[in-house]
Structure formats: structure tokens, C-alpha cells
């Protein structure tokens, strides 16, 4: 019979291999256009490398990636984050790895709401640079990182708004990544991409040798509508003619859609209107509120005299 005071059985606990901690990752970019970009993949790779270095168990089904603003959109409306929290509640992982605290949220209060929820599920948070202990010091460090993330976002917003006001006061348009279909940006002495001009670059030559520009396509769309052509019929016609659409889809073959035609027909830029400051920032629980609209008629050549001509 084994001596109950023997330490032999207790020593087996130290000889048995320790269970490896299970990890999950959360990767976020603020710009929705970066959802399938190398930028978000680079961040994900950084987190995966850290997980491998630490020796955590990790599977791809516990990699949560999304591209949306953590400042405007509350955590309760972020699908991937909610999936992560549900998995944590089920006890599917022990540690959540992020690239930096700002990935969770740009607002301090939300960072601590998420932190408390994960603590309740026995999940700790760590970044690729540091771990946060469940202690007063650990919470203080986390609070500092969250405050820096929120201050950085506030300062970025203020600088952006100041730049927008300066551009508007100089008579330039707001910064845009891409001009409207049928136009190109031109620079002025003070600003880059400050004015619109017609885009006369040939984008397609049909079987009859007719050269098509984006301007010619817009004129054609309005002309067909005045003849009674439907939006759907126009999309089909443009596809049959072989004219390339404004935007190439990520996975499908390039083709015109009725929604694309509709956006062109309802865009007031084609009657010479460019609007700035249409919306203003609202509280996090609200949607965008309307701001003071400013019409910038001087920055764009108008197609109105072309598209309103009788047939």
C-alpha cells in the first residue's frame, strides 16, 4: 500500500508535459478597402509569427480579421470581434494576440469593456510587444496604451479636418482617392488634385473603329435614357458593346451593373455640382449627421449643356 505521505505521486505532476496555451488573433484595419489587401495580411503575418514564437497552439479558424473603423463603429457592431468573444466564452482559447491595443478599439472605455469580458472568460490579452498581467500594473499599462490610441485618433481627426477646411477656403475640392467616372484630377498652384477636368483618354475602340472615352460613355448613357432605355437595359447594352466598366470586380469578369449605371445617372457631379462637408462626426452610437453642405461649382467642367441637348 502506497504511503499517503509519499511525494512520488505528486512528483508525476511535474513530469507530465504542460498543456500548451491556445491562442486566437484579432487583426483590424480601419479602411474598408483594405479588407483583402497586403496591408491587413502583413499585420496578420506579424501576429502569427509572434504566436509561433511563443509556442501557442493556433488554428486558422481562430484568426479573426476585419476592416472597419473601431472609432466610429462600436464593438457591438463588429461581426468578427463578436465571433471572437463568443469563442472566448466557449473556452476555445486562452490568450488573444493583437498587433497593438488600437486593434481592439480607439476608445478607452471599449478597450476595458472587452478586456473585462475576456478576463471573465479566463482569456488574457497580449500584443506582439508586451503582455498585460491581471494586476494593477498590468491594467495601468493597458490603460496607458488605450489612452495613447484614442489621443492619436483624435489628433489625426483634427489635422484632417484642418486640412479639409484649408482646401475648401482655397477653392479646392476635398481629397478623393479616385475621380468620378468621366473626370480626372488636375493640380493648381496651391493644392494637388484640386480641380476636375474631362477625361478624354480613349478606353475602348469598337469594331467600327469608334473611339470611346469615359466622357463619351457618360453622354451615351444619358442619351439612351432620354430615348427611354431602362437602367438594366443600359447595363446589358454596354456589356454587349464591350465597353469596360468603371471598376473591375475582385473575383468576377468586368461587367456593367444596373447599380453602376444608376449611380452615374443620379450623380449631381454631371450637372456641375461638387459637394463638400455634407456630413459631420456624430456620437459613436449614432450614424453620420448632416453637416453644412458647400457646393463647389467652380472646380468642375459641367456636362449639363451636353446631356440636356435635345435629340
- Tens of pLDDT along 120-136? 999 998 988 877 665 56
Q: Is residue 249 part of a domain?
A: yes
Q: Is residue 285 part of a domain?
A: yes
Q: Is residue 260 part of a domain?
A: yes
Q: Is residue 176 part of a domain?
A: no
How much is the mean pLDDT over the chain?
78
| Per-residue pLDDT, 292 | 44
> Are both 300 and 206 inside the same structural domain?
yes
> Are both 63 and 127 inside the same structural domain?
yes
| Per-residue pLDDT, 26 | 95
| Per-residue pLDDT, 22 | 95
> Are both 108 and 203 inside the same structural domain?
no
CA distance 163 to 143: 30
Partners of residue 97 on adjacent β-strands = 25, 126
> Are both 235 and 290 inside the same structural domain?
yes
> Are both 24 and 125 inside the same structural domain?
yes
> Are both 146 and 188 inside the same structural domain?
no
Q: Which residue has the higher pLDDT, 135 or 29?
A: 29
> Are both 194 and 147 inside the same structural domain?
no
Cα distances from 299 to residues 40, 206, 249, 289, in angstroms, run 35, 32, 30, 25
Domain range for residue 124?
19-153
| Per-residue pLDDT, 180 | 85
Q: Is residue 174 part of a domain?
A: no
Domain count, the chain: 2
Show the beta-strand stretches assigned E in 163-303: 183-186, 195-198, 202-205, 211-213, 275-276, 279-280, 289-290, 294-295
CATH number, domain at 104?
A: 3.40.50.1390
Q: Which of 132, 153, 174 is the last residue of a domain?
A: 153
Please compute the mean of the pLDDT values over residues 56-71 and round it to a whole number: 91
Q: Which of 153, 174, 201 is the last residue of a domain?
A: 153
pTM of the model: 0.52
Please compute the mean of the pLDDT values over residues 96-120 and round it to a whole number: 87
> Are both 144 and 25 inside the same structural domain?
yes
Show the beta-strand stretches assigned E in 181-264: 183-186, 195-198, 202-205, 211-213
pLDDT over 80 (residue 273): no
pLDDT over 70 (residue 49): yes
Give 170's DSSP letter.
Answer: T
> Are both 143 and 25 inside the same structural domain?
yes
Task: Give the range among 54-63, 121-130, 184-193, 291-300 with minimum mean pLDDT.
Answer: 291-300
Q: Which of 153, 172, 194 is the last residue of a domain?
A: 153
pLDDT over 80 (residue 249): no
pLDDT band, residue 52 (cuts 50/70/90)? very high
Q: Is residue 12 part of a domain?
A: no
Amino acid at each position: 500500500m502506497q504511503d499517503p505521505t509519499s511525494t512520488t505521486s505528486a512528483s508525476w505532476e511535474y513530469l507530465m508535459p504542460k498543456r500548451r496555451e491556445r491562442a486566437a488573433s484579432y487583426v483590424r484595419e480601419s479602411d474598408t478597402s483594405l479588407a483583402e489587401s497586403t496591408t491587413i495580411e502583413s499585420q496578420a503575418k506579424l501576429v502569427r509569427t509572434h504566436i509561433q514564437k511563443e509556442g501557442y497552439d493556433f488554428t486558422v479558424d481562430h484568426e479573426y480579421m476585419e476592416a472597419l473603423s473601431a472609432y466610429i463603429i462600436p464593438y457591438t457592431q463588429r461581426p468578427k470581434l463578436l465571433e471572437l468573444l463568443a469563442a472566448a466564452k466557449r473556452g476555445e482559447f486562452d490568450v488573444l494576440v493583437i498587433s497593438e491595443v488600437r486593434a481592439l478599439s480607439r476608445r478607452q472605455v471599449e478597450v476595458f469593456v472587452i478586456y473585462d469580458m475576456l478576463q471573465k472568460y479566463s482569456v488574457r490579452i497580449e500584443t506582439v510587444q508586451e503582455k498585460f498581467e491581471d494586476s494593477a500594473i498590468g491594467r495601468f499599462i493597458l490603460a496607458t496604451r488605450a489612452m495613447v490610441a484614442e489621443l492619436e485618433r483624435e489628433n489625426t481627426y483634427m489635422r484632417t479636418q484642418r486640412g479639409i477646411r484649408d482646401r475648401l477656403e482655397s477653392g479646392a475640392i476635398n481629397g478623393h482617392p479616385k475621380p468620378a467616372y468621366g473626370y480626372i484630377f488636375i493640380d493648381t498652384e496651391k493644392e494637388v488634385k484640386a480641380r476636375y477636368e474631362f477625361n478624354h483618354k480613349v478606353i475602348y475602340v469598337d469594331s467600327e473603329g469608334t473611339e470611346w472615352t469615359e466622357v463619351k460613355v457618360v453622354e451615351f448613357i444619358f442619351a439612351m435614357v432620354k430615348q427611354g432605355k431602362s437602367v438594366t437595359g443600359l447595363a446589358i447594352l454596354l456589356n454587349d458593346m464591350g465597353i469596360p466598366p468603371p471598376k473591375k470586380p475582385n473575383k468576377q469578369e468586368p461587367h456593367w451593373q444596373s447599380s453602376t449605371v444608376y449611380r452615374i445617372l443620379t450623380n449631381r457631379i454631371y450637372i456641375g455640382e461638387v459637394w463638400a462637408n455634407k456630413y459631420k462626426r456624430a456620437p459613436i452610437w449614432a450614424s453620420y449627421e448632416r453637416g453644412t453642405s458647400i457646393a463647389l461649382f467652380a472646380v468642375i467642367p459641367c456636362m449639363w449643356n451636353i446631356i440636356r441637348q435635345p435629340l
